[in-house]
Chain A
C-alpha cells in the first residue's frame, strides 16, 4: 500500500527568509556561503500494508513532520522513492486554509476544496458539518470572530468527512471541550475501522499504544526502530527518561 524506499531529505537552512537581493550579491562577492544543508531524513525505508495503522514517534526535530510532508507529496524527497496506491488525505494542520475575513460558510467551501472534497459533496454534507461542529446560527459570522474552541471544532468536523485509502495525520486527533473530544474520538475510531491505511504522528503515547498496529521510531532523521507497538513504545519511554 505504502512503500518508502531509502528516502532522504535535505533541508535548506540559513538566515535566508529575510534575504535581500543586495545582501545576496554582497555575500556572493565575498564568497560567503548563503545556505546550509541539513539532512532532515536519513535513508528511511519502510512499508505499510492495507488497513494498518502506523504510529511515528520520536523527540522534537527528529523528522516526523518531514516524513509526513514527503508522504503527502508536499515535499519531494532529495533521494529515494515513495509510492502510495490509492487516494491520500493528508491532514497536517487542521486550520490550514481558513481565512479570518470570510464567513463560516465560505470557509467550509474553501477549506473543503483544499481537503479534496467536491463541491457537490460539501453541499450535500453542509448541514451535517454545521451540526457536528455545533455552529448553527454562526454560518454568516466572520471566521476570525469565532472562539478558538469553535474554530478547532469546525476544522475537525470538516476534516473528519474524508474517505481516503490512505490517511496521514499530524497530531490532530482530539480537539475542543470534553464532550466534543468524546465525539471526535468516536469519529476517528469509525474512520480507522473503515479499513483505511493510516500514518499518524503523535506525542501521546497512550494514543499510540491504544491504536497503532506498528510503530516507527525516528531520532535525528534516522530510523531508530520499526516494529511492534509495545516493545518500541517501552524502549522509547525508557529512552526519553534517561535523556
Chain B
C-alpha cells in the first residue's frame, strides 16, 4: 500500500516534468510563442466571420460567438489528438529504457494542448462580453461539456497513439478523417437548416456537435440543455474512453517491439 502510494507520487513528478517539457517545446518557451498560438485561431475566426457574414450574408444573432464556440471545441480536439497520436513514438527512447507507464506520455501531450485551450477559452469569454452577453450562474455548467470533451480526447488519444505505433500511415488517414469531421460538425453553418431531416438526427452521432451545441445553448440562448443531452455527452466520452483503455490494455506490451 505504502509502496504503491510512493509510486503514484513518483509518477506525478515524472508527469509534471513531462508536461513542462512538452509545453516548452510547443511554445519555444516564449510569450510570443503562446501569443502566436492564440493569434492563429483568432485570425481564422476573423476570416470566417467576415466571409460568412459579409460574403454569404449570414445574419444570425451572435454569429461570431456561434462560430468561435464551434472552432474552439474542434481545434482543441484536433490539436490534442494529433499531438497525442505521436506521443508513444516520439518518446520511444525513454519507453524502451525506463520503467514508466506509457500513457503518461500521451496525457502529457494532451495537457500541453489543454493549456492552450484554456487560454483560448479566456479569449472566448472576452468575446462574449464584447458581444453584449452577460454571465450567469449557468456558465458554470460549461465545465460539464469541457470535462466530457477531455475524456473523449484521452480516449481518442489512446486509440490513435496505439494505432500509430503499429501503422505509420494512420497519420494521413487521420488527416482525412478530421477534414471530414470538420464539415460534419456545424462550426460555421447553422444547424437549423437540417431541422426535421435525417441529417439532424445523424448529427447526434457526432460527439463534438453535442459539446458545441451544449456550449452554444448556455452561452447564446441561456438555456440549460436537457437531461438527454447530458447523457449523450457523457455516453460518447465514456464509450470512446472505454475503447481506448481496452486497446491500450490489450496492446501496450507490444509497443516495445514496434518502436
Contacts and interface: CB of A to CB of B under 8 A. Distances in A.
Nearest to B14: A113
A169 B173 CA distance: 42
A67 to B, nearest CB: 15
A96 B257 contact: no
B17 A74 contact: no
A19 B166 contact: yes
18 contacts: A19-B166, A19-B167, A19-B168, A21-B167, A21-B169, A74-B97, A74-B99, A74-B256, A93-B97, A96-B93, A97-B93, A97-B97, A102-B21, A106-B24, A110-B17, A113-B14, A116-B10, A118-B9
Contacts of A96: 93-94, 96-98
Contacts of A119: 13
Contacts of B14: 113-114
B27 to A, nearest CB: 12
A24 interface: yes
A22 interface: yes
B96 A106 contact: no
A48 B257 CA distance: 28
Which of B16, B17, B96, B254 neighbours the largest number of chain A CB atoms within 10 Å of its CB?
Answer: B17
A88 B16 CA distance: 22
Given A12-B257, A18-B168, A110 B21 contact: yes
Contacts of A92: 97-98
Interface in B86-136: 93-100
B258 interface: yes
Contacts of B168: 18-20
B112 to A, nearest CB: 14
Which 8 A/B pairs are nearest by Cβ-Cβ distance? Answer: A96-B97, A20-B169, A21-B167, A12-B257, A113-B14, A93-B97, A110-B17, A113-B17
Determine the interface band of chain A, counting residues with CB < 8 A from chain B: 20 to 34
Contacts of B254: 12
A114 B16 CA distance: 11
A93 B254 CA distance: 21
Nearest to B259: A17
B167 A113 contact: no
Interface in A25-57: none
A121 to B, nearest CB: 10
A96 B254 CA distance: 20
Given A18-B168, A118-B9, A119-B13, 15 more contacts: A11-B257, A21-B170, A21-B173, A24-B166, A74-B95, A74-B97, A74-B98, A75-B253, A96-B94, A96-B98, A102-B21, A102-B24, A110-B17, A110-B18, A114-B94
A111 to B, nearest CB: 9
Nearest to A76: B253
A79 B25 CA distance: 41
B169 A109 contact: no
A72 B99 contact: yes
Contacts of A90: 98-99
Given A22-B169, A106-B21, A17 B258 contact: yes
Nearest to B173: A21
A16 B259 CA distance: 9
A73 interface: yes
Which of A24, A92, A114 neighbours the largest number of chain B CB atoms within 10 Å of its CB?
Answer: A114
B34 to A, nearest CB: 17
Given A11-B257, A17-B258, A101-B25, A106 B98 contact: no
Contact of B94 (A22, A72, A97, A116): A97
B242 interface: no
B90 to A, nearest CB: 11
B78 interface: no
